[in-house]
Amino acid sequence: MTVSKRASRRRRRRARLIDWDRIMMKRALDLAREAAARGEVPVGAVVHRDGEIIAEAANTREHDGDPVGHAELLALQQAGRSLGRWRLTDCNLVVTLEPCAMCAGAMVNARIGRVVWGADDPKAGGCRSLYEIPADPRLNHRPPMRGGVHATVSSGLLRSFFQARRKKKSC
């Protein structure tokens, strides 16, 4: 196979991944909106394999009183149960907000195949903003990462949620 054919094949594969990133992010955003309607911080997560949704979840911290009720953790747990295994190397995690350090560690431990997020999290981001846990060369698994997919929509959803919450508290 010539170099140009290989490069062309890589570009086509990358284009397919980007399409799935956007499609799955739209589903994660729907889950985030549902969470906001329930009074939860609007974060949604989807675990998929080649476009097939394996698991999906939204934050449940407030409702369940559970400090680890993050959308990413819940989706990873569901995916493991659904597939009957803890290694998720052939799966992608798509989440509306950059995962925190706890969730980033769980992704590494689950051997997730790829991580995609919407808005960066400058206060708690564990993948790029504060820490780069999944990229740490000392770890035995380093999934490819992509941030910024539908970032404007994701950050706008979070911003409006917290503005409404602050307004409600001041009344």
| Catalytic site positions | 72
Radius of gyration of the chain measured on its C-alpha atoms: 17
Structure tokens given for 145: 């990462």
Read off the amino acid at residue 70. Answer: H
* Residue of 99, 106, 87, 155 whose CA lies nearest to 132: 99
Structure tokens given for 104: 């980033």
H/E stretch holding 72? helix 71-83
Which residue has tokens 């990873």? 76
